[in-house]
Amino acid sequence: MRKIIISILIVVLFVFMLRVIPKVNSVAYNPPPIPSLEKEFKPNQKLLEAQKLILSKGSGAEDVEVDKEGNLYTGLENGLIVKIPAKLLEKLEIINSNRTINIQEEVLVNTEGRPFGLRFGPDGNLYVADGIKGLLKVDFKNNNKIEILTNNAEGIPFRFTDHLDVASDGKIYFTDASSKYGPGEYLYDLLESRPYGRFLVYDPKTKHTTVLMKRFIFS
């Protein structure tokens, strides 16, 4: 029995190597020194007081955004962008010793991608860094219509649109964590340790995307 298990493990390892080795082109990575655990890095227990929200429509919430009324928004692994009303947040109660709370959130849209970063713009619309689709706008004034604003720059498609912020003039600053690997392949990007990431800006007036900085490692 032991020989059979070892044989299976060898076969699995061989198949994995056949899939990964031709694809990954790694370089050595020397991390910076570990900072001392002082000042802003000083250990604390603040997160022990946090309450964990269990969403009913999916999992994988990565970023949150809050509107002027206190409603909370987040994106899930299944492509949904959901809203937790402020009134519901105010009424939440701890239901067990693990400080876990079940939530019945509202579904706004399905990007059919992987929404990561979320930010409201000065126009009141929600802007989304979708790891698969690119930079999106959810138009609240037009029945939550989804518009793809940009999905490439300098002839290179985005593979991992990750996070964003919106300036007061409406320009959207965002990152493409990797121009080679998508959300389901991020481990390959980490294995390579190569600078595929970029920092960009999208101007809604000109509809032009500009690369501000490049050669980041998984930005």
Express each pLDDT in 4-22 by its tens digit.
676 666 656 555 555 555 5
Rounded Cα distance, 135 and 125, in Å? 13
**pTM tops 0.75:** yes
pLDDT, one tens digit per residue, over 69-80 is 999 999 999 999
Q: Where are the domains of the chain?
A: 51-216
Q: Which CATH code of 3.90.1720.10, 3.30.70.20, 3.30.429.10, 2.120.10.30 fits the domain covering 51-216?
A: 2.120.10.30
Name 153's Cβ contacts closer than 8 Å, sequence gap at least 6.
176, 198, 200, 209, 210, 211
b/e code 39-68 from CB counts within 10 Å (16+ = b): eeeeeeeeeeeeeebebeebeebbbebeee
DSSP secondary structure letter of residue 96: S
Considering only 17-21, 53-57, 163-167, 185-189, which range has the smallest mean pLDDT?
17-21
Rounded Cα distance, 189 and 178, in Å? 7
Q: What is the pLDDT of residue 79?
A: 97
CB 186 within 8 A of CB 218: yes
